[in-house]
Amino acid sequence: MDLRIYSDYKELSKEAAKLIMNVVNANPTGLLCLAAGHTPVGIYKCLVDFAREGKVDFSRCKFVSLDEWVGLGMQDEGSCIKFMHDNLFNPLGILESNIAFFNGQASDLELECKRIDEFVFKNGPIDVVLLGIGINGHIGFNEPGSAFDAYSHVAILDEITKEVGKKYFPVQRQLEKGLTLGIKHFLEARNVILVASGAGKAEIIKKTVESPPDTSLPATALKLHNNFYLLLDKEAASLL
């Protein structure tokens, strides 16, 4: 585990973005899997700036979805697909043909998981996975108890995930399930970056750093990866 602590969110975002940029510059046709959520917003701003400054070109990269809320789609504020388009894909001008995203409104969710798995098997391994962490230790929608050897699957959302997830939605939602890449995808990726910011993440970061790999705390699985970067700001690292 390569643990790096930065003075604030701004520096964390810039350094995480630089890591991703370096991966893309090394392999401009690579496959990327990038999280939605509040933590990576600053990283995506930096990536868009880097691209506009000509430091990196994402036009030949492929992007695979990390996760999606079952029932939501592009039209829904708070869906992962809309978040990624608003914050990254549209500002970068990424072609839809280079994006494979879970359809949270698919009629057959198992088949949808298979479709995304097949995309990863065909275009992978994933060059870089960027993850955030939930206060329950989830990564993507791999909730506590998720198997480390699972690929994409339908996840029953943890109570904490449902409660905390309310922050993404302007209107109240009744969300019970998610679609997510599995931990096995993360372990088979070339690089995994987990970012956490703010005092609210300090407790789960302390547990993740101190605990051996255990399914009760999904983020600990990443310690099994040889190229696992844990990037924190000072507040998220404050209990270490």
Per CB under 6 A, residues contacting ligand F6R are 35-39, 66-67, 80, 132-134, 138-140
Round to whole Å and give the CA distance between 107 and 165: 23
- Smallest distance, Å, CB 100 to ligand F6R? 15
- Smallest distance, Å, CB 53 to ligand F6R? 26
Q: Which residue is nearest to ligand F6R (CB)?
A: 132
38 vs 55 by CB, closer to ligand F6R: 38
Q: Which of 179, 212, 198 is nearest to 70 (CA)?
A: 179
* Catalytic machinery residues: 67, 136, 138, 143
61 vs 161 by CB, closer to ligand F6R: 161
40 vs 124 by CB, closer to ligand F6R: 40
Sign of CA dihedral 7, 34, 193, 38: positive
For residue 34, list its beta bridge partners: 130
Alpha helix segments (H runs only) across the chain: 9-26, 41-52, 80-84, 90-92, 109-123, 159-165, 183-188, 202-210
CA angle at 96 for the pair 190 and 15, rounded to the nearest 5°: 40
CA angle at 28 for the pair 25 and 31, rounded to the nearest 5°: 115
- Smallest distance, Å, CB 35 to ligand F6R? 4
Round to whole Å and give the CA distance between 73 and 79: 6
51 vs 80 by CB, closer to ligand F6R: 80
- Smallest distance, Å, CB 5 to ligand F6R? 18
- Smallest distance, Å, CB 239 to ligand F6R? 17
CB 112 within 8 A of CB 101: no
48 vs 131 by CB, closer to ligand F6R: 131
